[in-house]
Structure formats: C-alpha cells, structure tokens
Chains A and B, each alone.
Chain A
C-alpha cells in the first residue's frame, strides 16, 4: 500500500474514445502530479497541482486535460489520443514545503494503450 491509488491499472482505448484516469492519495499531501513514462525515455512531468491549483503544464497537448477537485483527488481526461500516447501514466503526490526537499510518492500507474 503506497498511499497513492490509481485506477484503472490497464486501459485500451480507440483514438476516438474519451476516457479518464483517476488518482487518489491518502497521505495528506498538498501537491499532486501526472507523469508519463515511455520506453527508453526519462519520466516526463505533465502537470503539477498545488492546493488544487494547477501550477505547471509542461507543454502537454490539449487532448490531455487534468482536473483536481480537491487535494486528495486528481484526474486525467483523455480524448482523441494518438497511438504514440501509449505509455505508463503515473500519478504522484508530495508535501510542498517551499524550497525544501520534495519526495514523491507514486501510484502503481495506468498502462494505456491507444489503438
């Protein structure tokens, strides 16, 4: 039990589908993140939310739409994806303490396949 739960674990979707990924953290953290992990690439930060406010959008295409209704929940809404968007999508949370160290706690990820 990592304290960060992602659903679903696996998702196969067509390019015209609309789906959502869900993340929930039980650690009392105030910051949540979406990362994309593709083969042979470093983890790519997509979005950062701090106290429910989006503080970073790392040039992510608009076909990915995040939503953070409260500090414990984070969604990633997907629509009209491309096959190259197939990857492991990881949610993480941390306790933002200003300039002090930030340790990220990750969920197990959603393995997304776009067909």
Chain B
C-alpha cells in the first residue's frame, strides 16, 4: 500500500511570513500533484510535477519534487489570507495510473 504523509497537519501563521509544507512517502511515484481545497468546495489542482528534482513556481508558491520521486514540498513566500485552505498532495503510482493516492492534507490558516 502506498501512503503519503503530509506535515504539518495544521499550520497557522501571520500574513507576510514564509512557510513550507511537506509530503513524504517510502514509495516512488510517477508524478505528484498538489491541490488546494477551500471550505465547502472540491480540491482544485495547483500543479503537477513529474521529473525527479523538478521545481515549479506558481506566483508565490514553489513546488519541488524530490530527486528520488518519493517526496515533495510546497513553499509559500509572503503568505496572504487568500492562501488559507487545505493543501493536499496526491501521488500517481508507477502502475495503475487511475488510482491517485492522497495525503491527509495540511490545513493552513493565514491570519491578517
């Protein structure tokens, strides 16, 4: 069974601070995705990383895929209240492409 562990599970910081959340596994994934979910809504895809060591930037968000494709991180610079939400990572297994494996999420709160 492939598992994704996200840390921290909860994070509350002040506006303007930087933060990093992590997504770790003992398994290798063909790709890894990050989603953000706001209360009462479904998850929305932010980014997909596919190559070991890959770094992608989305405005103030920087996503990195580990060299061994077992882990990923999301770094937010100068966090804004609009960044508040549940951040989910999901791994695409090497085989059986349809079955994404989700982490339990990091609930992020940015205080004004």
- Residue B103 at the A interface, CB < 8 A? yes
Question: Which of the candidate stretches A13-21, A62-70, A97-105 sits at the interface with the other chain?
Answer: A97-105
B40 x A106 contact (CB < 8 A): no
B97 x A109 contact (CB < 8 A): no
Q: Across the interface, which residues of A come within 8 angstroms of B105, CB to CB?
A: 42
Q: Across the interface, which residues of B come within 8 angstroms of A90, CB to CB?
A: 42-43
Q: Across the interface, which residues of B come within 8 angstroms of A31, CB to CB?
A: 98
A101 x B31 contact (CB < 8 A): yes
B42 x A45 contact (CB < 8 A): no
- Residue B44 at the A interface, CB < 8 A? yes
B42 x A103 contact (CB < 8 A): no
Q: Across the interface, which residues of B come within 8 angstroms of A100, CB to CB?
A: 30, 97
Instruction: Tell me the nearest residue of chain A to B32, going by C-beta.
Output: A101
Q: Across the interface, which residues of A come within 8 angstroms of B50, CB to CB?
A: 101
A102 x B92 contact (CB < 8 A): yes
- Residue B73 at the A interface, CB < 8 A? no
Q: Write the B76-103 contact mask toward A (1 if CB under 8 angstroms, else 0).
A: 0000000000001010101101111011
> How many chain A residues have a CB neighbour from B under 8 Å?
32
B102 x A42 contact (CB < 8 A): yes
Q: A24 to chain B: closest CB distance in Å?
A: 14
Bound Cα distance from A108 to B94, whole angstroms: 28
Q: A40-B104, A108-B40 are in contact. Are A98 and B97 (CB under 8 A)?
A: yes
What are some 16 contacts across the A-B interface (CB < 8 A)? A6-B42, A31-B98, A43-B88, A43-B102, A55-B98, A90-B43, A98-B97, A99-B30, A99-B97, A101-B31, A101-B92, A103-B33, A104-B43, A104-B45, A109-B42, A111-B40
Residues of B at the A interface (CB closer than 8 Å) are 4, 30-31, 33, 35, 40-45, 48, 50, 88, 90, 92, 94-95, 97-100, 102-105
Q: Which 10 A-B pairs have the closest CB atoms?
A: A106-B42, A43-B102, A101-B31, A42-B104, A102-B97, A42-B102, A106-B43, A108-B42, A109-B42, A99-B97
